[in-house]
Structure 1
Amino acid sequence: MKRLTTIAELRDYRQRLSSTQTLGLIPTMGNLHAGHLSLIRQGRSHNDHLIVSIFLNPLQFGPNEDLNRYPKTLDADLEHCRETGVDAVFCPQPEELGISSQDSSSCLTQVCPPESLTSVLCGRSRPGHFQGVATIVSKLFNLIQPDRAYFGEKDAQQLVIIRRLVADLNFPIEIIPCPVVREASGLAYSSRNQYLSDRQREQASVLYRGLAAAHSQFQRGQRDAKALLAIVKGELAQVPQVQPEYVELVDPQSLAPLTTIKEQGRLAIAAHLGSTRLIDTMLLTVRQPIVAIDGPAGAGKSTVTRQVADKLGLLYLDTGAMYRAVTWYVLECGISVQDEAHIAQALKNC
């Protein structure tokens, strides 16, 4: 495993990789735990090469936040990376990324995501936080040029902003969301869990219990936002030491508040326990069943599938016909079937 601390070393490493092989990136601030390791395992299984960045980003901490006491465990982090098959770790100092130790942001070009995404949920109490995240993630994307980057769904607002960043700035990177990983009590893994006493860890598990209680009622057919939020708040009220900052139900893509769930909604919580700020989230999805039928040619797939879709009231999609139609369209346009870029452009008009 390579340990890279400078941009020059990183670029040299990147240039040596084959252009035909895929590269995955796991951006972290260090203090790796089971949640991070799940990202690493997923990235390892998807890519030929995997880089983990370890950078405690000063830009995403406010003046009264926990930058100075945030856990720093670089030696243990490197060992975790080595054990899980990471190919390289990029762990620069702030100055290497152009961040002054005296004034972390005054001389650095900043990336500013849309205010509609940064001024809600955690953005209300953490002004500048997501600007700091977007700035450093953009630098990492530019320097490392991964094919895929992996982010945990626990930081759901961050994930929405990163996806928007990639779309708006045309980064050719696939963003892979990874499920929340939890302790046995249901408490979502977080580096800040280390601040909690054993008793507080037990109390903090009420965040998950609140989400789970609302999810249970959602599965029984409850779609009203007020009712679902009341369930979460009622559960949290049973542990008065946990002080909610917000409990909201929002659209998973726009983060706009919902009054009812038609297709999807994201329950999001931020709360304080002592001096520790915790967040948790759960996606609520109205699911129709998905039935996939495959088999050899002439076996009756289309006939059976049409009848199943009709009986269950589902959308019927004949993928064989879809692929044939696309192929015909490409040939009609005079495009070589090997010309991936022009095919992709043609399909926008298909």
Structure 2
Amino acid sequence: MKVITKRNELINTMKEVSHQSLGLVPTMGNLHAGHMSLLESALNDCQQVVLTIFVNPKQFSANEDLSTYPRTPQEDLDKIKETAGNRANDIIVFMPEGNTEVYPPGFNTTISVSGITEKLCGKSRPTHFAGVTTVVYQLFTLINPARAYFGQKDYQQVCVIRKMAQDLNLNIDIKTVPIIREESGLALSSRNGYLSNEEKEIALNLPTKLEVIESLLKFNTWVDAGAQLNEILESTLSDKAWDYLDILDSKTLEDVDQNTKEVVIAGAYFVGDRPTRIIDNRLVEITYA
């Protein structure tokens, strides 16, 4: 396993690899089993994998947790080696030693996608996705992977990155890897570490509510379930702990219509005194009527 901390070293190393079977796994570190599932998927598909560890300042707003976001570099490297096993030599870890290794001095460009960034997480985090697409575009240009791997937990993020790649004619296959959960059903996230055991119990309100809606849609048509869905959404969102709860077409993130074959049930929920914002989703095939 090769660990790179400098931009120029990454550029030079990328000249020596085969990009036709190169996978990219972008992360912000503090790696857990969800991240490792991305790495495993990339290793299954690709001859070499670049895993990046970079807490991207551009996707945090002024009142968010950039300064306290968990950073565990040595533990991360140990987990990568353990997961890779005899494939460790096929992995390059890009762990920039500073922000200027990703955003050189004088960097003044923002890559942004409109429309789908203005709902769900984008309502309460209006600058977030521009920060995500800017850093991902930087990584795409530096690394030039054939495939890039993202977790379904951040479903809107995957949709935004896929749209960016499509609009900018980036010849990169965007792969989505299923959510990995704690035994309780809580989706794994680095921010789960902020939660006490009691708060984790409260956080289960999110996946539990998604399961209720999922069950309703599995056994009813969209039209038949309409009144119950509206009642669930209205009563749930009266609780201010919810940032959002919505059901959208999974392909477009637009409202469900007669052409919708699959929906994403997506929610964001605040837990604890900090408070900690957690997200989760379910994908469900539906019959419209």
**TM beyond 0.5:** yes
Q: Secondary structure of 1:267's match?
A: strand
What residue in structure 2 maps to residue 251 of structure 1? Answer: 249
Q: Secondary structure of 1:278's match?
A: strand
Amino acid at match of 2:229: L
Amino acid at match of 1:94: N
| Post-superposition offset of 1:112 | 1.4
What residue in structure 2 maps to residue 273 of structure 1? Answer: 271
Residue by residue over 1:125-178, the C-alpha shift from the partner in whole angstroms, topping out at 9 and shown as x without a partner, is 111110000000000000000110000111111011000011111111100011
> Partners of 1:148 and 1:108 in 2: how far apart?
27
Larger mean Cα displacement after TM superposition, 124-133 or 259-268: 259-268
What residue in structure 2 maps to residue 74 of structure 1? Answer: 73
Partners of 2:61 and 2:125 within 8 A in 1: yes
Residue by residue over 1:208-255, the C-alpha shift from the partner in whole angstroms, topping out at 9 and shown as x without a partner, is 111111111211114145523544676798xx7x81111111121222
Amino acid at match of 1:6: K
In the TM superposition, 1:217-236 aligns within 5 A as 217-223=216-222, 224-225=225-226, 227-228=228-229, 230-231=231-232
Partners of 2:249 and 2:260 within 8 A in 1: no
> Partners of 1:233 and 1:53 in 2: how far apart?
40
What residue in structure 1 maps to residue 93 of structure 2? Answer: 89
> Partners of 1:75 and 1:181 in 2: how far apart?
22
> Partners of 1:32 and 1:267 in 2: how far apart?
26
> Partners of 1:218 and 1:247 in 2: how far apart?
15
Amino acid at match of 1:90: F
> Partners of 2:200 and 2:242 in 1: how far apart?
16
Partners of 2:236 and 2:242 within 8 A in 1: no
> Partners of 1:91 and 1:185 in 2: how far apart?
32
User: After TM superposition, which residue ranges in structure 1, 4 or more long, deviate above 6 angstroms?
Assistant: none
What residue in structure 2 maps to residue 58 of structure 1? Answer: 57
74 and 281 in structure 1: CA distance in 2 versus 1, 3 angstrom threshold: same
What residue in structure 2 maps to residue 156 of structure 1? Answer: 155
Q: Secondary structure of 2:241's match?
A: strand
| Post-superposition offset of 1:45 | 0.7
Partners of 1:213 and 1:231 within 8 A in 2: no
267 and 229 in structure 1: CA distance in 2 versus 1, 3 angstrom threshold: farther
TM-score, with structure 1 as normaliser: 0.74
In the TM superposition, 1:114-193 aligns within 5 A as 114=114, 116-193=115-192
Amino acid at match of 1:228: L
Amino acid at match of 2:101: E
Residue by residue over 1:103-124, the C-alpha shift from the partner in whole angstroms, topping out at 9 and shown as x without a partner, is xxx842110112x111111111
107 and 33 in structure 1: CA distance in 2 versus 1, 3 angstrom threshold: same
Does 1:11 find its partner at 2:3?
Answer: no
Q: Secondary structure of 1:16's match?
A: coil
145 and 200 in structure 1: CA distance in 2 versus 1, 3 angstrom threshold: same
Which runs of 5 or more structure 2 residues have no equivalent in the other structure? none
> Partners of 1:261 and 1:33 in 2: how far apart?
37
222 and 42 in structure 1: CA distance in 2 versus 1, 3 angstrom threshold: same
Q: Secondary structure of 1:50's match?
A: strand
| Post-superposition offset of 1:273 | 0.8
What residue in structure 1 maps to residue 48 of structure 2? Answer: 49
Partners of 1:225 and 1:260 within 8 A in 2: no
68 and 205 in structure 1: CA distance in 2 versus 1, 3 angstrom threshold: same
| Paired residues, number | 277
Partners of 1:229 and 1:249 within 8 A in 2: no
- % identity of equivalent residues: 40
Compare CA radii of gyration and give the structure with the larger one: 1
Residue by residue over 1:45-72, the C-alpha shift from the partner in whole angstroms, topping out at 9 and shown as x without a partner, is 1110011000000000000001011000
